[in-house]
Amino acid sequence: MPQGKVFKYGDHVDTDVIIPARYLNDPSADNMRAHCMEDLDASFHTLVQKGDVMVAGLNFGCGSSREHAPLAIQLSGISCIIAASFARIFYRNAINIGMPILECPQAAAEIQAGDEVQVDFDSGRIRDLTTGKSYQAMPFPPFIRAMMDCGGRLSYLRRQMEGGQ
Amino acid sequence: MGMTMTQKILAAHAGLDHVEPGQLIEARLDSVLGNDVTTPVAVDVFENAGFTRVFDPERIYIVLDHYTPCKDIASARLCKRARDFARAHHITHFYDTGSAGIEHALLPEKGLVLPGDCMIGADSHTCTYGALGAFSTGVGSTDMAGSMASGTCWFRVPSAIRVHLKGKPGKDVSGKDVILHLIGTIGVDGALYRSLEFSGPGVASLSMDDRLTISNMAIEAGAKNGIFPVDEVTRAYLENRSARAWTACDADPDAVYEQVVEIDLDTLEPTVSLPHLPSNTRPVREVRGLKIDQAVIGSCTNGRISDMRSAAAVFRGRRVAPGVRCIVIPATQEVYLQCIHEGLMDIFIQAGCAVSTPTCGPCLGGHMGCMCEGERAVSTTNRNFVGRMGAKSSEVILASPAVAAASAVQGAIALPSDL
């Protein structure tokens, strides 16, 4: 069950601040990690540790369709993004690459930066271990869960196509 | 319950008689698009998953437009990756430097997206083709990869906001002002997960270029797509562009909309978006005099011939203000050539503008006009997020081509009528 320290951001965090376009000419993992969140939180890439959780407000990931955005966050070690809402292309991209995301406005409002948070994807339960509070997000529907269990959309699709032949 | 234009197209491509908002469907795609930033990532995913064949080499469109002509070695590598893939898979519609243009200006021009089509593109502004009565939406590289293999994609059927247009736009008011006004009204997440469906008597007064600009920025309101009904303007635009048959999808009279927004084009004013969100709109008259360092006229939003004409009409016999750089970028080779034929190039160059070969370039702070700390641009592009056109402390003000050109001449935000 993923557990980690919270990095907290506001509303309308756009893909240009998650990974600025000036770095997209080199989509290597090292480059993505080094510049993730740079224009919003310059110290993020030095402080983040594997398993940490990102919490944000409304419309997280708005703007460009660059898959580099959820990828950069995933490569940084973030285990789950919790937001009040997500921009739709970011939402799709995150699911497609197997980056867990949960929509939960109450958790997004109350959980504070630095809190220790635990997330259960099976039930959609979010526990703030620092405050002792719990929140309920909608768990993934079965077909999305199946896609994530396969390791993303492509493996899922491949399995389907092979099954059909 | 009746269906919206979007729901009808999705139902037809999923082989269903009826769909409901929220329903998850798998739809057949008419085409799949990618560019030099997203295609290389999609190619990695495609190959890593073990796919060896694309579903139809004639229905995959790859356009190298973001960092081209290649700005550095790293971007040249990205282009090579996309180019090699296009060659290996015999992709018919592969557009490289010299034939390319900005993807969302190029595809309509070449008749590659038609009314009633269902298509995806690994670029957020793929929603542009709603102007033609198609369902098109932006996705990421993994979706592009999967759909290149299967020719299908999964969607959640969206509910819709109806944007009822009435009246006729006045002098110096364009499609850009309509969409900026709409985003200012409903917010950058005002249409999240939903369709924007444009309708009403005002539609007829909008040219195809205006409609392409409006649909292009539907994503800036969070929308899945932004679609127009097919009418005489659409038919005239499509003439001689494609031999492929198409079927228009009208909304049912009893289609259900979550919300209706009315825009009176008669009273609409030239509008800008101030930093750092497209929803931060103001009438130009309220922010006149804000100093600028740079003006950019181009992009998938406003790089078409009518945009070039509108800017040139302002520049004719005038000069860019001292201390201001003005960069003009016709969006495609065809637009570029047309600018030469109509004498617009003479006007731009005599006014002191730098004119570039087609590229997305400065819109995303890629190249051809990045800004340093503290600089401010007026730009006909689509996003004014923090750091979008360069340094984190640089600023972008979104505007129409006429307002951007007038501001370039004045050295500060201005209306054409101020000159």
Q: Is the pLDDT of residue B170 over 50?
A: yes
Whether B383 and A66 lie within 8 Å, measured CB to CB: no
Using a CB-CB cut-off of 8 Å, the residues of chain B touching A17 are 385-387
Half-sphere exposure of B290 (CA within 13 A, CB side): 25
Collect all residues of chain A within an 8 Å Cβ-Cβ radius of residue B299: none
Q: Confidence band (pLDDT; 50, 70, 90) for B199? A: very high
B13 lies in the same domain as B126: yes
User: What class is the A3-138 domain?
Assistant: alpha beta
Interval B78-113: pLDDT, tens: 999 999 999 999 999 999 999 999 999 999 999 999
d(CA B395, CA A104): 32
- A160 min Cα distance to partner chain B (Å): 10
Answer whether residue A123 shows pLDDT above 70: yes
- Whether residue B156 is found in the same domain as residue B240: yes
Whether B365 and chain A come into contact, CB under 8 Å, resolves to yes
| pLDDT-based confidence at residue A164 (cuts at 50, 70, 90) | low
- Interface contact B54, partner A, CB < 8 A: no
Q: In angstroms, what separates the C-alpha of A139 from chain B's closest C-alpha?
A: 16
- Nearest chain A Cα to B73, which residue? A25
Q: Are residues B77 and B187 in the same domain?
A: yes
Q: What are the pLDDT digits (tens) for B310-344?
A: 999 999 999 999 999 999 999 999 999 999 999 99
Q: How far is A65 from chain B (nearest CA, A)?
A: 5
Closest to B192 in 3D by CA, of B259, B252, B253, B276: B259
Q: Pick from B233, B263, B293: which residue ends a domain?
A: B263
Q: How close does chain A come to B207, measured CA to CA in Å?
A: 26
CB pairs under 8 A between A and B: 128
Whether B216 and B312 map to the same domain: the answer is no
A121 has a pLDDT exceeding 60: yes
User: Which alpha helices (H) appear in B244-380, and where do they start and end?
Assistant: 284-287, 299-302, 305-315, 333-341, 344-351
Domain C-terminal end among B208, B234, B263? B263
List all residues 6 or more positions away from B228 whose beta carbon is below 8 Å from its beta carbon: B130, B131, B132, B133, B198, B203, B211, B214, B215, B234
Question: Is pLDDT of A143 > 80?
Answer: no
- One domain for residues B281 and B251: no
- pLDDT of residue B284 exceeding 70: yes
Cβ-based interface (< 8 Å): residues of A facing B:
12, 14, 16-17, 20-22, 24-27, 39-40, 58-59, 62-68, 70, 85, 87-89, 92-93, 96-97, 141, 143, 152-155, 157-158, 161
A90-117 exposure pattern, b = at least 16 Cβ within 10 A, e = fewer:
bbbbbbbbbbbbbbbeebbeebeeebeb
The domain tally of chain B equals 2
Taking the CA of residue B340 and the nearest CA in chain A, the distance in Å comes to: 31
> pLDDT tens digits for B377-400?
999 999 999 999 999 999 999 999
| Dist CA B175 CA A143 (whole Å) | 40
- Categorize the per-residue pLDDT at A158 as very low, low, confident or very high, splitting at 50, 70 and 90: confident
Examine the domain organization and report whether B234 and B360 are in the same domain: no
The answer on B34 and B180 residing in a single domain is yes
Does B124 lie at the interface with A, CB-CB under 8 angstroms?
A: yes
Of the residues B368, B371, B373, B388, the best mutation for testing chain A's interface (the one with the most A CB atoms within 10 Å of its CB) is B388
With 90 as the cut, is the pLDDT of residue A140 above it?
A: no
Q: In CATH, what number is assigned to the domain containing residue B302? A: 3.30.499.10
Clarify whether residues B94 and B192 are in a common domain: yes
- CB-CB neighbors (< 8 A) of B67 in chain A: 25
CB-closest option in B143, B150, B385 to A92: B143
Give yes or no for residue B415 having a pLDDT over 90: yes
Which tens digit of pLDDT belongs to each residue from B27-77?
999 999 999 999 999 999 999 889 999 999 999 999 999 999 999 999 999
Enclosing domain of residue B379 = 270-418
Query: Residue B249's pLDDT is what?
Result: 95
Q: A65-115: per-residue pLDDT in tens?
A: 999 999 999 999 999 999 999 999 999 999 999 898 999 999 999 999 999
- If asked whether residues B61 and B165 sit together in one domain, one would say yes
Q: Is B274 found in the same domain as B356? A: yes
Digit-coded pLDDT (tens) for B128-143: 999 999 999 999 999 9
pTM: 0.95
* Of A144 and B268, the one with more pLDDT: B268
Question: Locate tokens 């240009």: which residue?
Answer: A16
B349 touches chain A (CB under 8 A): no
Cis? peptide before B108, omega within 30° of 0 = no
Complete edge-to-edge strand list for the sheet that includes strand B31-35: B93-95, B60-63, B31-35, B118-121, B135-138
CB contact under 8 A, B192 and A87: yes
Pair B224, B83 in one domain: yes
Do B276 and B172 lie in one domain? The reply is no
pLDDT, tens digit, 9 for 90 and up, residues A42-60: 999 999 999 999 999 999 9
pLDDT tops 80 at residue B193: yes
Whole-number pLDDT of residue A165 = 45
